Amino acid sequence: MEHYWQEISALTMRWVRRLSREKFSMLFTLVQPMLFWLIFFGNLFQRAADTQVMQAPNYISFLAAGVVIMTVLNNGLAGGVDLLFDKENGFLERLMSTPIHRTSVILSRFIFVMGITSMQVLVILGVSYLFGVHPATGILGVATILLIGMMFGVGLTAISMAMAFSVKSHGDFFSVLGFLSLPMIFLSSALVPLTAMPGWMSFLAQFNPMTWAIDAVRPLILSGWTEALPHVGMVILVMLVFDALCLYGGAKAFRRAMG
Amino acid sequence: MDRTIAIDVSHLCKTYDSHHAVNDLSFQVYAGEIFGLLGPNGAGKSTTLRTLITLLHPTSGTATVMGHDTVREADTVRTLIGYVPQERAIDRFLTGREHLQLLGALYHLTTDEATKRINELLKLVDLEDHADRPAKTYSGGMKRKLDIACGLLPNPKILFLDEPTLGLDVQSRLRIWEYVRMLKARGMTVVMTTNYLDEADQLCDRLAIIDGGKIKTLGSPIELKIALGGDIVSLTLKELDRIPSLETELKGRPAIKSVRTTTKGLDIRVESPEKALPAILEAANRLGCSIEFIQYNRPRLDDVFIAHTGRAITESIPETESAS
């Protein structure tokens, strides 16, 4: 157990070091493009969006929940990229030829991605706050938002790692990534509520786990506990199933790649 | 020489779909030797190596390292070996020292132990002055040295090198060879893959030529060359009438395998030139044959390779080769 911890902390430190080596990259990781959605998209549609339809005082407060989960989505889907490079240049083989627990590398990656994602979510909620979006459920609500984000993020990171271990080249990886991310966003309640969508889109969006996550985060920000709790309970169930499936697939891909 | 068996590979097969990457491979590596797996790309060298370092499970057959099965006792095997993957298995953002520290933790060394060993290794591979610079600033040779230091960090019984000098310049190449010889002198067993014939020839005590997933031949470079029929010493004599008497004199002598007359002299196949040349010169001297011209041709490993695989090693040999 002590060994396991030594391995995981050393491997996690490696990801942190890599990030800290590139000051620019670190800056852009924290102040990342999702913030532009919030600031520009949020303000741009302030008057175009119908607050009756949105069921929110203004568009930016409606959008905040979506941007939080979009951040989780992007980080999660990109979470396997570094392992992909490790696999391609042989670093992963070097790590796996040492007497470490087989799960250490993967676990370190989860810890790192979840840590960075949490920080970004907090940055987004902080910026939203500056635009007057004050979470109705307070600190505990923010903690719940982080929990939902993490649960969604674990599954996404597992998908990303599974892809990293299965693809032939990183070109394939990025094509799939680029292909997945936008439809996931549009076919969810991130930008407009399901009720305002064309029928076929809202039908598809129901099957998107992202919709469930956003529908739980949104009342936590806009309304309060009474309205949020049923959604939170539901999303936790959905995410447990989602994570179980993704982790199962990820473990299978990992075992196939690592013999 | 110590003949303890360090690695025992028995009827190893690895199949991907219907393709046999390795097909019924059996060989042993003795403790303390430098053993080479020589073959073109795709011959099955890497598959064999990756099985030995526990990263691949054989489809059938077994491999043991110091008596431990690479599948069932993988964790034990991992504590006994060091691995140097092909070039650039390096995290460009980490410094040399950080690479070693990371591995120190993965081998469960204490901080003190790790610090001590890391300083020794940095000194050994001449990277002390560059230890705290990110690896992206390193030259190819420096990266390779760091790779080797990483492989040596666990203080392994057996070091596995995958194409240790691929793409290196001449000096770095010679440097790496020096390290490998030094490690052998310290009693370490070294297993390396290469597709450079001269590297196998210079460095390996014994080598297996692998092609199409099978071992074509196995032995020391000298044995393999001798098996082809030995070196040839060609003599051109001044007085052609003395040829028959010299031929009779040389035939059946130790270290001389066969003697054949040519138009101007003799072609003598010898086992080892070191023993045969003095004998030949002494005999010629005694019979009063003056020699006009003497030429000595040593079969090269290229000839061995061609003889056993039916073709030259497919990878083209880089320009640096000619200078070494």
Q: Output the domain CATH number for residue B261.
A: 3.30.70.920
Main-chain phi, psi angles of B58, to 5 degrees: -65, 150
Q: Is residue B199 part of a domain?
A: yes
Residue A29's pLDDT is what? Answer: 66
pLDDT at A109: 95
Is the same domain home to B120 and B166?
yes
Residue B322 has pLDDT above 60, yes or no: no
The minimum CA-CA distance between B209 and chain A, rounded to whole Å, is 24
Contact B169, B178 (CB under 8 A): no
CATH code where residue B102 lies: 3.40.50.300
In a domain, B65, yes or no: yes
Name A258's bridge partners. Answer: none
Residues of B in Cβ contact (< 8 Å) with A96: 55
On the question of pLDDT at B317 being above 50, the answer is no
Helix axes A138-166 and A225-258, enclosed angle (nearest 10) = 20
Task: Give contacts of B98 with chain A, Cβ < 8 Å.
Answer: 14, 17
Ranges of each domain in chain A = 2-16+58-258
Tell me the DSSP string of B28-67.
EEETT-EEEEE--TTSSHHHHHHHHTTSS--SEEEEEETT
Chain B residue whose CA is closest to A13: B102
B320, B168 Cβ separation under 8 angstroms: yes
Give residue B319's pLDDT band: very low, low, confident or very high (50, 70, 90): very low
Q: Which residue of B has its CA nearest to A87?
A: B89
| pLDDT of amino acid A32 | 65
Boundary-marking domain end, from B225, B258, B287 = B225
Whether B315 is covered by a domain: the verdict is no
For residue B257, is it within any domain?
Answer: yes
Tell me if A195 sits within 8 A of A202, measured CB to CB.
Answer: yes
Looking at B225, B254, B275, the residue that finishes a domain is B225
Interchain CB contact of A199 with B (< 8 Å) = no
Least-confidence region, from B3-12, B193-202, B272-281:
B272-281
Q: Which of B171, B195, B225 is the last residue of a domain?
A: B225
Q: How many CB pairs under 8 A join A and B?
A: 77
Residue B42, phi-psi category: left (phi > 0), alpha (psi -120 to 50), beta (remainder): left
**ipTM of this complex:** 0.87
Tell me the chain B residues in contact with residue A89 when contact means C-beta distances shorter than 8 Å.
88-90
Q: Which residues of B touch A (CB under 8 A)?
A: 50, 53-57, 75, 78-79, 81, 83, 85-86, 88-91, 93-94, 98, 101-103, 105-108, 134, 150, 154
Between A10, A17, A104, which is nearest B93 by CB?
Answer: A17
Any chain B CB within 8 A of the CB of A102? no
Answer yes or no: is pLDDT of B49 > 90. yes
A44-79 residues labelled b (16+ CB within 10 A) or e (exposed): ebeeebeeeebebebbbbbbbbbbbbbbbbbbbbbb
Half-sphere exposure of B26 (CA within 13 A, CB side): 4
Statement: residue B290 has pLDDT above 80: yes
Tell me the chain A residues in contact with residue B94 when contact means C-beta distances shorter than 8 Å: 14, 17-18, 21
Question: Looking at the structure, do residues B10 and B47 belong to the same domain, yes or no?
Answer: yes
Has residue B311 been placed in a domain?
no
- For residues A134 and A151, what is the distance between their CA atoms, to the nearest angstrom? 23
| B122, B260: one domain | no
Whether residue B308 lies inside any domain: the answer is: no
Residues B127 and B214 in one domain: yes
B62-to-A96, B24, B37, B38, B214 alpha-carbon distances in Å: 20, 10, 18, 21, 15
Is A96 close to B55, i.e. CB distance below 8 A? yes
A contact test, residue of B102, B103, B109, B146 with most A CBs within 10 A = B102
Position B229 pLDDT exceeds 80: no
Are residues B238 and B123 part of one domain?
no
Q: Chain B residue closest to A85 (CA)?
A: B91
Amino acid at B14: K
Q: Is residue B310 part of a domain?
A: no
- Is pLDDT larger for residue A67 or for residue B230? A67
CA dist A210 and A184 (Å) reads: 8
Counting the structural domains of chain B, the total is 2
- Residues B194, B244, single domain; the answer is no
Asked if residue B318 belongs to a domain, the reply is no
Cα–Cα–Cα angle for B112, B159, B302, rounded to 5 degrees: 155
User: What does the pLDDT read at residue B10?
Assistant: 95
**Domain membership of residue B268 as a residue range:** 229-298
- Give every CB contact of residue A138 below 8 A, 6+ residues apart in sequence: none
Q: Which parts of chain A sit beneath pLDDT 70?
A: 26, 29-33, 259
Q: How confident is the model at residue B225 (pLDDT cuts 50, 70, 90)?
A: confident
User: Do residue B221 and residue B233 come from a single domain?
Assistant: no
Tell me the nearest-neighbour CA distance from B125 into chain A, angstroms.
19
The CA-atom distances, in angstroms, between A118 and each of A222, B174, B242, B259, B289 are: 20, 50, 94, 83, 92
A26 touches chain B (CB under 8 A): no
Beta-carbon contacts of A131 under 8 Å, excluding residues fewer than 6 positions away, are A38, A39, A42, A43, A60, A61
Residue B150 has pLDDT above 90, yes or no: yes
Mutate to test the interface with B, among A97, A103, A108, A256 (most CBs of B within 10 A): A97
Model pLDDT for residues B204-217, shown as the tens digit of each residue: 999 999 988 999 99
Chain A positions in Cβ-Cβ contact with residue B73 (cut-off 8 Å): none
pLDDT, mean of residues B283-287: 86
- State residue A175's pLDDT score: 87
